[in-house]
Structure 1
Amino acid sequence: MNTLLDEMEPEPREALLAHAHRVDIPAGTRIFKERQRADIENGTVDLDLHVPGHKAAVIDTLGSGDLLGWSWMVPPYARRLGAVTTHAVRALEFDAEAVRKLCDENPAMGRCISTAVAAVIPRRLDSSRTRILDLFAPHHSNMPLAYAR
């Protein structure tokens, strides 16, 4: 599987890695919650959604090579989901402010980094949509789901 870093040209990859450091996170650790102001090498992370009156709903599971977060690119830089490790994780953690500054100072590199990160978003949205439909669709029903156009 190609990772975000594998997809990048050497120059922007090295510039991005200059703002990263390795972190080890034990299993069962809440990495972040929704609305709070990382590339996984080993382990797994569940992305979850707060559901009032229920336990958090897992909407995606990330593993080796997956980009954990992209909210650092888009103001107000708030997380849209929560994340908790299901197995011990070794990951690269990036200094978001430094990476945004790098992108501003070098527009070509900024486009490269933004394009690589943006490629993650459609898959993440599809996974989230599917899981949410699974969670809230009528169970044991042959009725089709209604939707508006």
Structure 2
Amino acid sequence: MTRPGVFGALTKEHREQLMSLAREVSFATGERIFNEGGKADRFWIIHTGTVALDLHVPGRQAAVIETLGAGRLLGWSWLVPPHHWHLGAEASSPVRAYEFDAAAVREMCAKDPALDHELCSYVLGVVARRLRSARMRLLDLYAPYGAGEVP
């Protein structure tokens, strides 16, 4: 059986290396985890619960782009300078997660190119999926009917 999410993208050795830096945390329903534009100095792998990713829309309520659950990576902006959140996140149910200090993970990756490659490849896939989700959600909310159709 393959592991979901980031754990499935890493070898056993690299999972163990990454988890050596993990710290267990929890968030209550409705708790704000991070805000768009804030300093991205950590990330999480969700163990239980759900987190809503949202995007600030001027003059409107924040648009929920995607909801993440168990095994999913919460936060990718820690990997890409200038290390500021591109989205916001709020617990939509009680959440337990593994938290990682971004600087420590980047340092570990600098010392292990294979880990760096596995992690960066996985995060790039996450960025691509979140970009598609954001595009579709914003089209659903704000575009004229049919504007998101591909010719």
TM-score norm. by structure 2 comes to: 0.88
Q: Deviations over 1:82-127 (max 9, x none)?
A: 0011101001111100000011112122112212222222211111
Unmatched segments (≥5 aa) in structure 2: none
The structural deviation recorded for 1:41 is 1.0
Q: 1:51 is paired with a residue of what secondary structure?
A: coil
What does residue 16 of structure 1 align with?
Answer: 18
Runs of 4+ in structure 1 deviating by more than 6 angstroms, as ranges, are none
| Cα separation, 1, equivalents of 2:148 and 2:5 | 36
Pick closer, same or farther for the CA change 1:146–1:43 going to 2, 3 Å: closer
Q: Deviations over 1:17-60 (max 9, x none)?
A: 11111111100001000011111111111111111222111111
The answer on 1:131 being equivalent to 2:137 is yes
Contact 1:25/1:89 (<8 A) preserved:
yes
| Cα separation, 1, equivalents of 2:25 and 2:113 | 29
Aligned residues: 143
Residue identity (%)? 48
Q: What letter corresponds to residue 103 of structure 2 in structure 1?
A: E
Q: 2:82 is paired with a residue of what secondary structure?
A: coil
What does residue 27 of structure 1 align with?
Answer: 29
| Cα separation, 2, equivalents of 1:54 and 1:45 | 21
Q: What letter corresponds to residue 31 of structure 1 in structure 2?
A: I
The structural deviation recorded for 1:133 is 0.6
The structural deviation recorded for 1:135 is 1.1
The answer on 1:104 being equivalent to 2:110 is yes
TM-score norm. by structure 1 comes to: 0.89
What does residue 147 of structure 2 align with?
Answer: 145
Unmatched segments (≥5 aa) in structure 1: none
Q: What letter corresponds to residue 81 of structure 1 in structure 2?
A: L
Q: What letter corresponds to residue 131 of structure 1 in structure 2?
A: R
